[in-house]
Amino acid sequence: MAHPRRVVITGIGIVSPLGVGAERNWESMKAGRTGVTRISKFDPEAFSSQIAGEVKDFNPLDFIGKKESRKMDPFIQYAVAAAEMAVEDSQIKRSQLEGDRTGVYIGSGIGGISSIEENHKVLLSKGPKRVSPFFLIATVINEASGQVSIRTKAGGPNSACATACSTGTHAIGDSYRIIARGDADLMLAGGSEAPITPLGLAGFCSMRALSVRNDSPEKASRPFDKGRDGFVIAEGAGIVLLEELGSAVKRSARIYAEIVGYGMSGDAYHVSAPCPDGDGAWRSMKRALSDAGVKPSDIGYINAHGTSTPWNDKIETLAIKRVFGDYAYKVAVSSTKSVTGHMLGAAGGFETAATAMVLKHQIIPPTINYENPDPECDLDYVPNEARKAELDYALSNSFGFGGTNGTLVIKRFLE
């Protein structure tokens, strides 16, 4: 279905295990360099999984004042930094962000878990009067959007979502529709996450969701490979500046790509496992393609959810086959989680940005660590080496706990 207003991506900001900044992340993705290492934030020896995609070269003081940064959980710091980089990357005048035609929509799957842990320890050891007065504003998920809105003076739609691993994709998809229907001209949108804490790691370990390939962290995230044994927990933020096309053209903005379709669905099946026949993922992709008004055969690349869990990768492959039929074997599929690990609520923001850069540069980053083909995962996963390609349309998938699904269709922008 055609929308009255077109929406393009004009700025990208990334904080990830690959580094800080869009260009650094793009170069690492292309080269297949992993950001997965042994956990250094705390001693992980007692945990079954001891590896993660940690953000290691981030200094919040490069983006936020010392006094302000102390009031922010790391997931908010990452979001503020990524948003600042997206604004700088777009080369828009900050005065153009001010007012009610610019909005902010940044979500998180877990929010301020480290602040919760720290303040709970204080409560137990020192009593309630010693809990920080900034505890709640450092913890609640919408404060990432709130802080970015305050700093940019963006007075338009201000919201957040918490849809597990679909969060970043839903935030961007919802923002795309906000602009398309005329409620804003610009939106800073995406996701942010900082879940690598003892409690966060313990929870995922107890679920047996994580890889335990502790002896070789760089090999642990291996989407679609037969030897995959779970995902690798990761952190960071991915924020894009979405802009109404007329606004972008008027200021001669560099345009990465255009968002043309968005689909959502619910599995209505299980609190954490995907529907075995891939029905929810299938409906999400079908709705996005219908919204974009394109055929499956128009899609040249799929940035897969591709978490490196035995069940998820198999089901996503099944759903892709159901949507694309025989053409599924001709479309290139890769998982950037192979190099970052799974950034949870930030994954969709990062992967939307990655897909936009794929279309801009016409290069597909590889799925690294693909060594042993799985008969049930038999598509073209662009194994181990980047590939040049001629692409007009790409699709980006995100599927989350609770059976929540999101898909974006993104188009190459030709001036």
Of 3, 161, 170, 305, the catalytic one is 305
Q: Do 276 and 336 belong to one domain?
A: yes
Q: Do 244 and 273 belong to one domain?
A: no
Q: What's the CATH code of the domain at 387? A: 3.40.47.10
Q: Do 283 and 175 belong to one domain?
A: no
Of 165, 205, 275, 377, the catalytic one is 165
In DSSP terms, which residues pair with 377 in a beta bridge? 374
Q: Do 236 and 266 belong to one domain?
A: no
Domain-located, residue 232: yes
Residue with tokens 């962000």: 97
Q: How many domains does the chain have?
A: 2
Domain-located, residue 60: yes
Domain boundary among 228, 250, 272: 250
Of 161, 205, 342, 377, the catalytic one is 342
Q: Do 266 and 156 belong to one domain?
A: no
Residue with tokens 């919802």: 174
Structure tokens at 65: 């004042």
Q: Which pLDDT band, with edges at 50, 70 and 90, does 1 fall under?
A: very low
The predicted structure's pLDDT at residue 3: 52
Q: Do 218 and 367 belong to one domain?
A: no
342 annotated active-site = yes
Q: Which pLDDT band, with edges at 50, 70 and 90, does 290 fall under?
A: very high
Contact 14, 192 (CB under 8 A): no
DSSP type of residue 382: -
Mean pLDDT of the region 384-391: 98
Q: Which pLDDT band, with edges at 50, 70 and 90, does 4 fall under?
A: confident
pLDDT digits (tens, 9 = 90+) for 61-99: 999 999 999 999 999 999 999 999 999 999 999 999 999
Give the CA distances from residue 136 to residues 4, 112, 113, 131, 357, in Å, rounded to whole numbers and listed in that order: 40, 9, 11, 10, 36
Q: Do 297 and 242 belong to one domain?
A: no
Query: Domain range spanning residue 144?
Result: 7-250
Contact 145, 160 (CB under 8 A): yes
361 annotated active-site = no
Mean pLDDT of the region 175-179: 98
Domain-located, residue 20: yes
Domain-located, residue 59: yes
Lowest mean pLDDT among 1-15, 137-151, 369-383: 1-15
pLDDT digits (tens, 9 = 90+) for 102-159: 999 999 999 999 999 999 999 999 999 999 999 999 999 999 999 999 999 999 999 9
Q: Is residue 141 classed as helix, strand or coil in its secondary structure?
A: coil
Domain-located, residue 415: no
Give the CA distances from residue 82 to residues 191, 292, 331, in Å, rounded to whole numbers and listed in that order: 10, 28, 31
Mean pLDDT of the region 276-302: 97
Mean pLDDT of the region 324-352: 98
CA dihedral 333, 189, 406, 358 (to 10 degrees): -10
| Short-list 305, 309, 259, 15, CA closest to 164 | 305
305 annotated active-site = yes
Domain boundary among 221, 250, 279: 250
Domain boundary among 218, 250, 282: 250
Q: How many other CB atoms sit within 10 Å of the CB of residue 135?
A: 19
Mean pLDDT of the region 180-193: 98
Show the beta-strand stretches assigned E in 235-392.
236-244, 257-266, 299-303, 332-334, 363-364, 387-388
Domain-located, residue 93: yes
Q: How far apart are CA 61 and CA 106, in angstroms?
A: 21
pLDDT digits (tens, 9 = 90+) for 270-281: 998 888 999 999
The structure's pTM equals: 0.97
The predicted structure's pLDDT at residue 274: 87
Predicted confidence (pLDDT) at residue 19 exceeds the cutoff of 90: yes
Contact 105, 164 (CB under 8 A): no
